[in-house]
Amino acid sequence: MNRSTPRRIALGSAAVAVVLTGVAACGSSASSSGSSGSSGSSAQGTYTIWDPYPQFAAGSAWEKLLDSCGTSAGVKIKRTAFDTTDLTNKELLAAQQGNSPDVLIVDNPVVSTLADAGVLTSTEENKVDTSQVEPNLLAAGQSGGKTYGTPIGANTLALYYNKSVLKAAGVDPASVKDWASLTAALAKVKAAGKKGITFSAIGTEEGSFQFLPWYWGSGAQLTDLTSDQAVSAVTLWKDWLKDGYAPNSVLNNTQTTSWQEFATGQYAFSENGTWQLANAKKAGFDYGIMAVPAQNGGTAPAPTGGEFVTVPVQKDTGRYSASDKIVSCLTSSANLLATDTTLSYIAPTKAGQDTQSSTDPDLKVWVQAVQAAKGRTSDNLGTKYPKISEQLWGAVQAALTGSKSPKDALTAAQAAAK
């Protein structure tokens, strides 16, 4: 049963990918192209690319970019899009069968897991140049002193706020500088008959992702879940729920449903990501964006989201040179900007970020947030992160539902994370 589930999911998503891309082939043909490459000369043949962007159909700018990068590297590109949650297991299975794609674009916290599995080549082997990338973004792809890919862009979390709700409650957004002033603002909003803040505290990785800005903003470290700072971060959320500043539904909210709550216009704040920017413009009310405040003021480090472009291990090491050309082309300044604009991401390079904040003032806050952001697997946590994260979201849920006190929940989590 356990085996059939991923297959069915994999088959299903492969079918979806086929429909979306209009390419009439799936996983099996990736293997044939892999072997055909090893028999021919290395810079020719078909190169496979897997990405988690099923929203980009055949004929989209993204697919055209992939094709043109292939052409300039002298190869043909065969692209398959997967659902992002499916991609890790799909790649692990492919690596087990020895038919990994030539280029894999994958969510950043997964990079260290795949690297640990020996699936990815380091930049020493694949010669991908990462010198332009901001170090705080690159760190998510580093483990054991090696770099396993380069970010295609970054997104992170910040607070969207509804200007009219705040105005009606008599709150000046500029006054929100730390946790105390934010909580005070929420109290005013509640007193004015509106709802305070919405976020996602669901029992998945998404829950940890949303909690981390507060966790890190308290000064806590992921290596010690029981610190006083960690307890204060959990207590902050717990008190918001207890006092009715945040709805109980946060426990079951994904970031999408949390956004839908904010889009009703009833909420003052929503913790959400760069990718909601287009939706915010459609929301029909005046919105603002501020960075998540740290406990004692300043910008809290939010976790980085976004994908890495990686080069999986191939039997024929001669294929890496063309893969390197494709990756360099995809991550060249002009192409990065174009891709990040379509994805609503922030560029991973200083130059790209400068261009973005000068062309779109809306992005300024996001550029700042991304500059302060931190990879979840950074600090050399690597594959320890998933275990810690699972315990962390569990502890947050236990505290928010009241089944354990924040201190007890975190102590239990720390014991289980070892």
- Enumerate binding residues for another protein (CB under 8 A): 1-6, 85, 88-89, 92, 95-96, 109-110, 113-114, 116-119, 202-205, 247-252, 261, 383, 385-387, 389-390, 394, 397-398, 400-401, 403-404, 416
Cα distance between residue 216 and residue 234, in whole Å: 11
CA nearest neighbour of 60 among 29, 24, 22: 22
Q: In the complex, what is the shortest distance from the CB of residue 39 to another protein, in angstroms, rounded to a whole number?
A: 24
How far apart are CB 394 and another protein at their closest, in Å? 7
Q: How many CB atoms lie within 10 A of CB 232?
A: 18
Residue 19 or residue 351: which is nearer to another protein going by CB? Answer: 19
In angstroms, rounded to a whole number, what is the distance separating the alpha carbons of residues 53 and 72? 22
Output 370 or 400, the one with its CB closest to another protein: 400
Q: Which one, 85 or 229, has the nearer CB to another protein?
A: 85
Distance CA 370, CA 303 (A): 9
Strand pairing category for 195-198 and 267-273: parallel
Structural tokens at position 22: 């209009």
In the complex, least distance from residue 90 CB atom to another protein, rounded to whole angstroms: 11
- At 253, list the tokens: 């909210």
Distance in angstroms (rounded) separating the CA atoms of residues 82 and 11: 10
Q: Which is nearer to another protein, 249 or 296 (CB)?
A: 249
For residue 379, CA distances in Å to 223, 382, 383, 417 come to 10, 8, 11, 17
Which residue, 334 or 415, is less far from another protein as judged by CB? 415
Q: CA 261 to CA 377: how far, in whole Å?
A: 30
**Alpha-carbon span 229 to 413, nearest angstrom:** 15
Q: Rounded CA gap, 17 and 83, in Å?
A: 8
State the nearest-atom distance from the C-beta of 202 to another protein, in Å.
6
Given the complex with another protein, which of 72 and 403 has the nearer CB atom? 403
Q: CB nearer to another protein: give 329 or 398.
A: 398
Which CB, 2 or 41, lies closer to another protein?
2
Best CA proximity match to 90, nearest among 81, 387, 309, 209: 81
Minimum distance of another protein from residue 63's CB (angstroms): 28
CA–CA gap between residue 418 and residue 413 (Å, rounded): 9
Q: How far is the CB of 200 from another protein (least distance, A)?
A: 11
Q: What are phi and psi of 20, to 5 degrees?
A: -70, -40
CB-nearer residue toward another protein: 134 or 261: 261
Place of tokens 């050309």: 325
**Separation of alpha carbons 211 and 237, rounded Å:** 9
Residue 45 region by backbone torsions, left for phi larger than 0, else alpha for psi between -120 and 50, else beta:
left
CB of 101 to another protein, least distance (A): 14
Closest contact distance (angstroms) between CB of 271 and another protein is 17
Q: How far is the CB of 117 from another protein (least distance, A)?
A: 4
